Chains A and B, each alone.
Chain A
């Protein structure tokens, strides 16, 4: 019984064990595998930790290195520090830097770790190994036998591994805005790093990475240093230039002072004889003279007047420079100006046996608006030059209206004439067959006091101011002047264009009108024109009325300002008012009248009659809006022309 129980028990236990084993063994196995797995994992983690730590260290090294390198802006210190730190961090045997020479054909040993003064050891740059390094942005392992690596004393030992990396040398010019420096034009230095011999050490990846990072940092630090050097140099250059400019300015000021002193003195010296000439010639004119003598004296007077004007202008050079000179505009006869110039120049020209001819284009208007005196001066100067610099031959003066298409000359791109309705451009050409001007001297012609070196010119005299002044005048007249010459001995053509106004047709007819119509005829020029005359003085009132009635007007007379205001109506086209009126100020009346008529076209034109005209009166009138001013006593012709002007333009201004 016991045996059976024991057997059964054993069997049961064996079964259970067997059963359990079936379960346990896989579990054990899996536990075991897991253990193994975990161990591997732990080992891996350890390794990774080690890597991270090294990387961290590397990073720290890099940061430290970078810090060291960037802590200085001095190129040499940067490079030296790099090598030193790298050498320490990586425990290198040798570390060297090769820089490209100026020619770019060789690499020169510039810095090493252990050799204090590398002696200009160079290596040609076009070595396959070097090219390989230069063409890669990574660190490249090179053979210890490479020329750049053979800088240690001949090794008895097994040389350690060598790597090399390129260091880009960035120049300022490489940095363009929005432009990356071109890789092809980069210059590189070569950094060579050697592991200690006989150490059986090998370059690890993280070490190589470190080297690459350092190389880039070095490049940046170097470029910073270069920029700094550049800016220091620029600053020094600027300082030098400042000093030079200051000196130049002081010299210029001295020159200007000298010129002003000269002008002040010459002012007096020149004007005195001029006045004598003009005064005495005028006096001479008053005496008994034969016709030829009279003509001569007249020419002397005209010339001396022109000369006096010229002197005034010359001595007011500063005014011309300032641009404060203004033109005296007026209506003048264009043809007369040219004839005058011709008359003045003919005597001199005939003495030199020069033939002068004038050609005026038919479309030129007879009258123009501009500065007559200065235009004549300009033409005279240009023609005078032509005569002066010609020994023989002919001078041709032509004047015409500049055509719109030809106004823009390709030779004078800065000149922009604008054609318009009330002005035109007068173009004058003076062609001579004289000594001409060489092309390089042409720009100098318009510079004051500048003379060309030709002795012929020096002998003819002249201060060299003429053309400069002409240029100023022409510019004031919104024009342009230039000289063309094919060279010395080939004659010269001076051309200028100026802007002149076209007078209103009325003025032209007025100029033609007055002499033609005899005063006795010409009645009823203004039939039925209703006008109002206000004058306190009975006699003068009657005379004014007589004038107006004679011209056909329908005249109403009033003798006081109050009466005037009462009587004036929109039918009166013109009100003639004596403004020397006691009681109410004449101007006030004008204002009141204007207030009375709100509509512009109903308002009469108000004209002041006065015995005195001075600036104050005129200004007052303008302010008050009066149509014009007539100086008493008024002649019939004057009244007639005043009325025509007024009715044409509604404004007169002053009729003296």
Chain B
């Protein structure tokens, strides 16, 4: 695939991510912060997000498997997750976190478990999509072009 096509593909892909609600304004903000002083800002932040999220999701699974469920702790984790997802603009994940927190407050185990599944699902989708996007960007850079804004 030649450069122009790659670039077009990237743009379309990105647009679809926004359109489908996977990403929101905040992601655009992140991109604005990337400049010559900070050329890999977005990738760095997103990688950190992935690490953080995996850790949190593990903790959540473990917490919900306990005999006696510590809702406070679960709520704290979800709050963290909500914070990070909103920081990078992962809209769908963030919205789910809000729902999750409501279940926590209501101390609804069923609801929490269901939510956790949904969050895990959404997270893996957005992770895959972001990784694909980054791959496209790398391809473009390797082909000698510049990533369209």
Contacts and interface: CB of A to CB of B under 8 A. Distances in A.
Interface in B76-96: 76, 79-80, 82-84, 86-89
A611 B78 CA distance: 13
Contacts of A542: 44-45, 48, 87
A543 interface: yes
Interface stretch (A69-77, A620-628, A629-637): A629-637
Nearest to A541: B87
Contacts of A633: 25-26, 29, 86-87, 89
A610 B82 CA distance: 12
11 contacts: A520-B32, A537-B87, A539-B88, A540-B87, A542-B44, A543-B30, A543-B45, A549-B38, A550-B35, A550-B38, A578-B83
Looking at B33, B45, B82, which has the most chain A CB atoms within 10 Å of its CB? B33
Interface string B45-64: 10011001000000000000
Contacts of B25: 633, 635
Contacts of B49: 539
Given A519-B32, A546-B30, A549-B38, A611 B86 contact: yes
B86 A636 contact: no
Nearest to A609: B83
Contact of A636 (B32, B38, B89): B32
Interface in A562-591: 578, 580, 582
Contacts of A546: 30, 33, 38, 41, 45
Interface string A620-656: 0000000000001111100000000000000000000
A108 B87 CA distance: 110
Contacts of A636: 29, 32-33
Interface of B: 25-26, 29-30, 32-33, 35, 37-38, 41, 44-45, 48-49, 52, 76, 79-80, 82-84, 86-89
A536 B35 contact: no
A537 B45 contact: no
A543 B88 contact: yes
Contacts of B33: 543, 546-547, 549-550, 636
A540 B83 contact: yes
Contacts, number: 70
A538 interface: yes
Specify the main secondary structure of chain B where it touches its partner: helix
A550 to B, nearest CB: 5
A307 to B, nearest CB: 36
Please indicate which of the listed interface residues A539, A540, A547, A580 has the most CB atoms of chain B within 10 Å of its own CB.
A539
Interface of A: 519-520, 523, 536-540, 542-543, 546-547, 549-550, 578, 580, 582, 611, 632-636
B42 to A, nearest CB: 9
A552 to B, nearest CB: 10
Contacts of B37: 549
Closest 7 CB pairs of A and B: A539-B84, A540-B87, A546-B33, A537-B83, A543-B87, A633-B26, A550-B33
Contact of A539 (B29, B32, B38, B83): B83
A536 B80 contact: yes
Nearest to A635: B29
A536 B87 CA distance: 13
A632 B86 contact: yes
Contacts of A547: 29, 33
Nearest to B80: A537
B32 A611 contact: no
B79 A539 contact: no
Given A633-B87, A635-B25, A636-B33, A539 B41 contact: no
A583 to B, nearest CB: 10
A538 B52 contact: yes
